[in-house]
Structure 1
């Protein structure tokens, strides 16, 4: 009786082992999460051989926990200075990524070194604060009304920003007379304060996008099979996208840089922000924009389209990269509607 039970248990335990490697790889591919797959490496020898062959990964980097410090008058002053003075200035003027970016890169590399055949990757960085609709630094958990998407190769090719001052369900608020007047106005001249706000959106988005571009360089050098990369953040405010052609262009520029500075130089220069080239900017603004497909109403809707002056002029194929559900989907509809607006502001921005 004990023998037959042992045989039955043995047969039952062999069911998964009977699956061919191709099927097990499909299961791992459907998991996708890099940290879960990393744990699978320790399960058995078979898993440790198959997991590194996964070709598509999704990895969310955790936030670093702040270090608790004793409270004192000096610490309170330091916290006040850091939160209300230093941090906003760093957010707008920072040229190099902070040490947290370096630690995130090291943590990412430790996980990814076990996956050598990746051709598609989505990295979600922790959200430490972004731009809010007032142009300030958004706190953690803030539901941002400014979204951006950037496309890079060697340098920035294009960047699209969709912003608003408010987003509400249609019918949730009673319309005032002023609101009804706004609905009849498709385009009004922006005030000086509103123009400054949009400039903050533009500069902040470009700095964040260029920092993410440099963040990818070490990853790209370690994973030559990569053909598609998306780098977003925990609050889904911004997204950097690179396809096969853009990654090839980036690899070529990295090789050229090594030839110039010499193969013995350190790679610290790779961790600096990528310079932003001279840009041509087209900005469309609508006071009130109704989105019937998703059932939202957007006030102060502004679409900013930026392209490198020296780059190739293409259509608007990259301008519909806002997806998701609920409010995220509303931003995609807003972009499509804003592209129909004929009147717009045109300007140029110098390289920085």
Structure 2
């Protein structure tokens, strides 16, 4: 009597396989799975959550020291030129025969296979932001929220950031509050401009993805060094689509650069900031809260506390430290208020 072996994998329901694919996330692995069998090929395009890591194509430049002309040239090359060139290269790549360095088509073309995707996390390569040219081994973290344009941006910075011993935390006298020097303020303005340009470039990059994926409900665009993060939810994406409708019918498609609007900036500073819960210490700690002058958050009268509440909220150790630092910085009595013109 012949025994027929049954493939138990075929007994798994489609819903369970889709659950597994959604947990897999990685777009490269999912793209390879498309060619495994006809069943996979029909199910994987229904995946609703993706993670995309974009490989670096531009060699990093070695920065110089100080604010000399050569350093400024590197700064503008890194901050202004490279991010937009890289985004334009990816967005403009439409030929199916064009291959990336890892043997796959440009990831924009790969994403078109996932028609039902609702959540995308894109991770950019990190080229340096010009911050290291003027701040040494400083810490700069930012989070930006967009709709059709910038809604808010939070920047947390420090000239140094380290784990202090318990005894040092107890014995260290709190340094008196003082004003920033002109050079210190200049450095923080460069931090701010650098982060805003990076956020604007990522928002511009998102426009092409949004046109191809009408069901998209949530987007995160970060970088491999986890310096900055752009976040958009369903309402923000609907607003962004509305702003893009006038250009959708143009041939060739006109995707304008995302401009930074007129901004209101509030900057808080602490020469020495102790974080008793995590045991860390920051020197030159800086918190920058940025809003458009004529934006929804300004009209609604949203407080800094409400805006900063979810600024760096995460389960990882570093995120908890940054959230604690934001909470401590909000206690600062002195702050700088300034405006910045659109660019």
8 Å contact 1:132–1:145 — kept in the other structure? no
Task: Tell me, yes or no, if structure 1 residue 205 matches structure 2 residue 182.
Answer: no
> For the structure 1 residues 173 and 59, does the alpha-carbon distance in structure 2 shift closer, same or farther, using more than 3 Å as the test?
farther
8 Å contact 2:138–2:159 — kept in the other structure? no
2:42 alignment counterpart: 49
Gaps spanning 5+ residues in structure 2: where?
61-68, 94-105
Question: TM (normalized to structure 2)?
Answer: 0.84
CA distance in 1, matches of 2:40, 2:152: 41
Deviation at 1:336, TM superposition (A): 1.9
1:124 alignment counterpart: 123
Deviation at 1:91, TM superposition (A): 3.3
Deviation at 1:351, TM superposition (A): 1.0
8 Å contact 2:158–2:284 — kept in the other structure? yes
CA distance in 2, matches of 1:228, 1:98: 23
CA distance in 1, matches of 2:342, 2:14: 51
1:161 alignment counterpart: 155
Deviation at 1:350, TM superposition (A): 1.0
1:24 alignment counterpart: 17
Task: Tell me, yes or no, if structure 1 residue 227 matches structure 2 residue 214.
Answer: no
8 Å contact 2:48–2:117 — kept in the other structure? yes
> For the structure 1 residues 318 and 52, does the alpha-carbon distance in structure 2 shift closer, same or farther, using more than 3 Å as the test?
farther
1:99 alignment counterpart: 85
Deviation at 1:65, TM superposition (A): 6.5
Q: Alignment length, in residue pairs?
A: 315
* Structure number with bigger Rg: 1
1:329 to 320, 327, 331: 320
CA distance in 1, matches of 2:156, 2:17: 41
SS of 1:235 mapped into structure 2: coil
Question: TM (normalized to structure 1)?
Answer: 0.82
Matches within 5 A, 1:1-352: 3-4=2-3, 7=4, 10-11=5-6, 14-64=7-57, 66=59, 84=71, 86-92=73-79, 94=80, 97-105=83-91, 106=93, 107-132=106-131, 135=134, 145-171=139-165, 180-181=172-173, 183-185=174-176, 187-258=177-248, 263-267=249-253, 269-270=254-255, 272-312=256-296, 313=298, 314-315=302-303, 316-319=305-308, 320-322=310-312, 323=314, 325-352=316-343
